[in-house]
Amino acid sequence: MAERAAKRLCCRPGYGSTCRPDQRAGAGAGAPTAESPESLLDIAARRVAEKWPFQRVEERFERIPEPVQRRIVYWSFPRSEREICMYSSFGSGTEEPGGPESGDETRLPFRRGVALLEGGCVDNVLQVGFHLSGTVREPATPSEPELLCNVSVSFDRCKITAVTCGCGNKDIFYCAHVVALSLYRVRSPEQVKLRLPISETLFQMNRDQLQKLVQYLITVHHTEVLPTAQKLADEILSQNSEINQVHGAPDPTAGASVDDDNCWHLDEEQVQEQVKLFLSQGGYHGSGKQLNLLFSKVREMLKMRDSNGARMLTLITEQFMGDPRLALWRQQGTTMTDKYRQLWDELGALWMCIVLNPHCKADQKTGWLRQLRRWNGVDVCPLEDGNQGSSQLSNITNAIPRGHNANPDSPQRTVFTRAMEACDLHWQDAHLQRILTEDRYVDRCRHDNPDLFDGRGWPLWHEHVPTACARVDALRSHGYPKEALRLAVAVVNTLRGQQRKQLEFFRTHKKEVLHKGMTSVTNLEGWVGHPLDPVGTLFSTLTETETDAVLDEGETPAALAAEVALIGLGQQRAMPDGLYAQEKVCRNEEQLLAKLQQVEPDDVLVNVFRKQAAILLDAGPYSGLGELLYRESVPMHTFAKYLFTSLLPHDAELAYKIALRAMRLPVLESSVTSGDLSRSHHHMVSVVANRYPRWFTLSHIESQQCELASAMLTAAKGDARKLQTVLESIQKNIHSSSHIFKLAQDAFKIATMMDGLPDLTLLKVSLELGLQVMRMTLSTLNWRRREMVRWLVTCATEVGVFALDSIMQSWFTLFTPTEATSVVASSIMSNSTIVRLHVDSRQQQNLANSARTLALQCATKDPQNCALSALTLCEKDHVAFETAYQIVLDAASTGMSYTQLFTIARYMEPRGYPMRAYKLATLAMTHLNLSYNQDTHPAINDVLWACGLSHSLGKNELAAVIPLVVKSVKCATVLSDILRRCTLTAPSMMALHSRRNTAKLMSLDKAPLRHLLDATIGAYINTTHSRLTHISPRHYGEFIEFLSKARETFLMAHDGHVQFTQFIDNLKQIYKGKKKLMMLVRERFG
C-alpha cells in the first residue's frame, strides 16, 4: 500500500504567542468521561474536525490556541469502526461484518485486525498531527515466522486518506495491520500519544535545535536520508532553485488543504488489477461471485454516502469496457455468457443509482454523463436487451422521454442509455419534495387535486413506472430509507389507482373491446424482467422497512409489497425479443415469487390476494389473466400456480378460476380453433420456432403450464366436476404430448397412491389424457411411444374391463396395427391381466372377441407385421384362425418377406398344422435368393428346416420343394447339406391315424434327388470358377479343402469319379498360370 503524497505547505505556527509553555506541552485529554458533560471546546472542535480542512481553519483564524489545535486534531480521526470494516472486507459494513458470501470470516482483514488488536500486537502508537503511526506484530505460525510491520495512517475530516504498511499487501482493501492500528486509535484514543503537526514543533525550535534535530535524524537514518538531505541542502543554498521560490515547506502531518478531495483511501490501481484479473478468469474460480461482491461494495459505499462509490464503479466500468472478449464476441457474432450478461445489467443499474443521487452536484452529474457518453460510443458496448449485433428499435415504448443527454445518432440502446437519460431527471418538483419529506402529506379536501392525490387523500406520483422505481432505488442506495419508503408508497398508490381506472374502462367498454379482439398488447413495456426491476425495487423497499407510519390504517408494508408484486406479475405484456431477455423474464418472475413466499401470510395478505385475483380476472386486456389475451403475451402459468396454491385454502372457486384462465398459451394455437386437436404438435412448435422473434423459452413455459395443470389435478381429487373442468382445459390448451403424458402419469399415481380403492374419477381423467397422447403421437415419431402404449394398457386395466374393451374397439385411432396386436391385445389377453381383472367367463369372452376382431383388422391392414400376432390371438377360435391364415396366404405373394413367412410357417408346425407350415415355407422359398458365396446367410436354417419338413411329409412334398430350392439357392455348401440330409433317411408321410408309412431311401439317380444332385455339382463348379477369379495365395489351403468337399458330392453320382477327374483336368488347363495352386491340386487330387 502506497501512501498518497498530499502534503500541505506550512509556514506559520497555529497558536498565539500568549500561550504558556505548559499549555503547549500538556498532554492531550481524551474524550469526556461518562460522569462529566462534554465541553463546548470538544463540541466545537468535533464539528470543525468533521467539516473543515485544517488549512481553512488556519486561514480563517490568525491565532489558534494550542489546546484548540489539539482537540481538532484529536477529533479528526474516524470515530466509527463501520467505515474501517467496509474498507477491509467484503462484508456488509456493519459492526458484525462478513457473512456466508465472505468465505472464511477469520481470513477477512477486518477480523484478523480485530484479533491482532485484542491479542495485544499493536505497539508504539503515535499521533503527530493528522498522521498516525505504530508497529503491529504478526505472531508466528507453523508455516510463517513472526512479522513486525511499521504502519502509518493519514486522515482528514474523519476519513482515512492514506495508508502505508510494511507487509507489502497488494489488495483492494486495507490489510489487517492497518485495521489493527486504526481500531486501536478508535477504541483507545486516550492511550495514544498526541502531538501537534511537526511544523508546529519545528517552529518552536531555535537554529541550534533545528540543526541538532536534522543532524541526529541523518545520523540515525543516514543510509536512507543522507542523499535526500544533501540534495535538499544544495537546493536551499541555491538562490534560484525552485524550492526557494515557494513560501513554506510541506508537512505530511498538517492535515489536508482546501483543494484536497475529502474521501477515504482507495487503491485505484489494485481495484483495476483485481477487476481485470476476475474478468480474465472468464467466470471460473468464483470470479463472477467476486465481481458481484465488488458491486455490493459499491452499493454499500453509496448507502453510506461515500463518494468512493462512484469512483470505484468508474474504475470497474473501465475494466469491463476494456475486456478483450467483447471485441471477440462481436467479431464472431456470438452472445456473451448469461452470468457475464447479468454483471453488465448490474453495472448499468448501479450507474442509474449514481446519476439519480438526489443530492449530487451539477458538476458531478456532468462528469458522469461525459463518461457514460464515452462508454456508450464504443462499438463493443453491450446492448440493453443482450442481442448484440441484431437490429433493434431506436427507443423502447413508454420509456424515459429522450432528452438532450440521449444520443440521437445511436439506434441501439446500450446498458448505459438509461443512466444517460436519467441525467435529465431532477428532484426539484415541489410535490415530489413534500412526498419525500413529510410522513403525513395528505390532501384534506381529497377532490381538489385528483392527479396528485387519490380518493383517500394520499399523494400520488405520476411518472414512467420504471423511472419512478429507479428513484426509489436511488434513495435506498444513497442511504435515504425513509424517503424511499414514502415515494414507494406513493408509486404503489398510483399503480393501484391506474389499475382501478383500467378496470372501470374495460367494464364500460367491454362489449366493444371484446368484439374488436386483441391485435396488440396494451402494456408495451413489461415490468417483470425490466432492466431496472421496478417491481422488485418496490417490494424490497416495502418489506425492508421497520415502520408503517406512512401507511393507511389496516395496511402493512408486507401487504402493500405483496399487492404491488401481484400487480406487476399479473400485467399483460409482450414477450421480449432474444434469448437473454426472455430468460430474464422467467428468472425475474421466479425471484419475485420467491420473495412473496417469504412473506408470512395473514388475514390482511389473504384479502389482498383475493382482491387482486378478482381484479386480474376482470381487467380485460390490461391483465395477463383477463378475458382478452394477445397472442404473444408472456404466459401466466408460474404466477397462476403460486396464486392457486395461496388461494386454495381460503377461496377454492377463485383459485380454480385463476388457474384455468392462466392455462392459455395462444402462441401455440394456429388459425383453427384452440380445441382442434387433430393438428400435429410438432407442426405447431415449428410455427413458433420459425417466427420472429422466436420464443427461446418455450420448453420452460410449457413445463410451467404442465406444473400448473398438475397442481389443479392434485387439488381436484375426489371432485368429479372440477376434474372434468381441468381435463377439458388440459385438452384444449396443452399442445405437448410429452407434457400431457406426464400429467396422465401424475394423475394415475395420485389416484392409486392410497392403500384402499383407487380414485376411479381421477383414473378416468388419467385414461382420457393417455388416449389424447395416443392420438397426438400416432402419426409422429416419439421415442417414448412404446412406453406410452404399455402405460395406457396398465391405466385401462386399473379402470376396468370396459376401458380395455373400448381401446381395442377404437384401436385404429390410437395405435398402429403392430402396437395394437403385439402390445395392446397381447397384454390384455395375458393371464396376469385376466387374473387381475377378476372377470367372469362372459366378460372374458367379450374381451377375447374384441381382441380377435382387432387382430384380424390389423392383419388385414398390415399383414407383414401383424400376421403372426393375429394368428396367436385367434388360436382358440377356429373361424378366426382360418381367416387369419387366409390373410397370410393372400399377402404372401405380394407384401410379405421370406423371413416373415418362415416365421409363421415355423409357428404352424408345432401347433399341428404341418401342411400349412409346408405351404407357407414353399411360398417363402419363392422370395428367397442365396448366391454362391452366402454360406452364412441367416435364412439357411429356415431352408434346411423347410426341406426337412418336406422330407418328413413325403416324396411328393419333397419333389415339389426341391425345384424351388434349386431355383432359390446357388450356394454349393447349402445344397450339399440338403442333399445329404435327404439321403440319410427315407421320406415319410403322416397317415390319417398317425401311422407312418414305410418307404425306401430315395435314389440319387432318379427325380427329385437327381435334380438336386446335378444342381449341387453345378453349384460347386460355378463357385470354384468364381473363387479362382480373385483368389490370393493365403486362401490356397482353404480352396483345396473346398475342392475336397466338392469331390465328396461328385462321388455321390454313379459317374461322379469321372466327372470330378474331368473337372480337375479342366481346372489345370484353364488356370495353369497359377502354378503353385495347381501344384497343390495335383498333390491332393492327382
CA atoms within 13 A on the CB side of 725: 15
> Could you tell me which of 635, 665, 634 has the C-alpha nearest to residue 732?
665
> What average pLDDT values come out for the chain (1086 residues) when binned by 10 residues?
48 40 37 68 84 80 82 88 86 42 61 90 89 89 87 88 86 88 91 85 85 86 81 83 79 77 84 89 74 90 89 93 88 84 91 92 92 92 68 35 44 88 92 89 69 86 93 93 92 93 87 73 83 93 72 79 95 89 93 93 91 92 89 93 95 96 88 38 44 77 96 93 95 93 94 82 95 92 90 94 95 95 94 88 93 96 94 94 94 87 94 93 91 88 92 89 90 88 71 46 77 88 88 88 88 86 88 86 82
* Paired strand residues for 131: 128, 154
User: 262 is written with which cell numbers?
Assistant: 475529502
Residues 6+ apart with CB under 8 A from 148: 135, 136, 137, 138, 166
Dihedral of CA atoms 944, 945, 947, 949 in degrees, nearest 10, equals 160
- Beta-strand ranges (E) seen in 84-235 are 122-128, 131-138, 147-156, 159-165, 193-195
Helix/strand/coil percent split, the chain, to 5: 60, 5, 35
Assess whether the previous peptide bond of 401 is cis (omega < 30° from 0): no
Q: What is the bridge-based pairing of β-strands 147-156 and 131-138?
A: antiparallel
**Number of other residues whose CB lies within 10 A of the CB of residue 593:** 16
Q: What is the bridge-based pairing of β-strands 8-10 and 147-156?
A: unpaired
Query: Helical H runs in 356-384?
Result: 362-376
Instruction: Please state the φ and ψ torsions of residue 671, each to the nearest 5 degrees.
Output: -70, -20
> Could you tell me which of 629, 851, 817 has the C-alpha nearest to residue 733?
629
> Could you tell me which of 787, 810, 782, 808 has the C-alpha nearest to residue 797?
808
Cell 391315424 identifies what position?
993
The DSSP line for 793-834 is: HHHHHHH-HHHHHHHHHTGGGT--HHHIIIIIIHHHTSHHHH
> Could you tell me which of 74, 73, 107 has the C-alpha nearest to residue 90?
107
> Could you tell me which of 729, 741, 745, 817 has the C-alpha nearest to residue 772?
741
Catalogue the long-range contacts made by 420-428 (C-beta closer than 8 Å, 24 or more residues apart).
420/369, 420/372, 420/373, 420/376, 422/352, 422/355, 422/356, 422/467, 422/470, 423/355, 423/365, 423/368, 423/369, 423/372, 424/400, 425/356, 425/400, 425/467, 425/471, 427/358
> Could you tell me which of 520, 543, 552, 419 has the C-alpha nearest to residue 474?
419
> Could you tell me which of 372, 388, 172 has the C-alpha nearest to residue 277?
172
Residues counted in the chain: 1086
- Beta-strand ranges (E) seen in 346-424 are none
Cell 402390445 identifies what position?
823
pTM of the predicted protein model? 0.80
Exposure string for 948-974, b = 16+ CB within 10 A, e = fewer: ebbbbbbbebbbebbebbbebbbbbbb
Q: What is the pLDDT at residue 311?
A: 92
Q: CA–CA separation, 216 vs 214, rounded Å? A: 6
Instruction: Please state the φ and ψ torsions of residue 194, each to the nearest 5 degrees.
Output: -115, 125
Residues 6+ apart with CB under 8 A from 310: 302, 354, 364, 368
Residues 6+ apart with CB under 8 A from 764: 799
Cell 469512483 identifies what position?
311
Residues 6+ apart with CB under 8 A from 773: 737, 740, 741, 744, 788, 792
Q: What is the pLDDT at residue 306?
A: 86
User: 474 is written with which cell numbers?
Assistant: 436511488
Q: Side chain identity at 816, as an amino acid letter?
A: T
Q: Side chain identity at 861, as an amino acid letter?
A: K
Residues 6+ apart with CB under 8 A from 179: 84, 88, 109, 110, 112, 113, 114, 116, 117
Q: CA–CA separation, 943 vs 974, rounded Å? A: 9
**CB of 174 closer than 8 Å to CB of 154:** no
User: 955 is written with which cell numbers?
Assistant: 416324396
User: 106 is written with which cell numbers?
Assistant: 477469520
Query: Is residue 122 left, alpha or beta, with left meaning phi > 0 and alpha meaning psi from -120 to 50?
Result: beta
User: 208 is written with which cell numbers?
Assistant: 541550534
- Beta-strand ranges (E) seen in 69-130 are 122-128
User: 463 is written with which cell numbers?
Assistant: 411518472
User: 492 is written with which cell numbers?
Assistant: 404503489
Q: Rounded to a whole number, what is the distance in angstroms from the first to the last CA of the chain?
A: 105
User: 1050 is written with which cell numbers?
Assistant: 461328385
User: Could you give the 3-state DSSP secondary structure of residue 159?
Assistant: strand
Cell 432528452 identifies what position?
403
Residues 6+ apart with CB under 8 A from 413: 383, 384, 385, 392, 395, 396
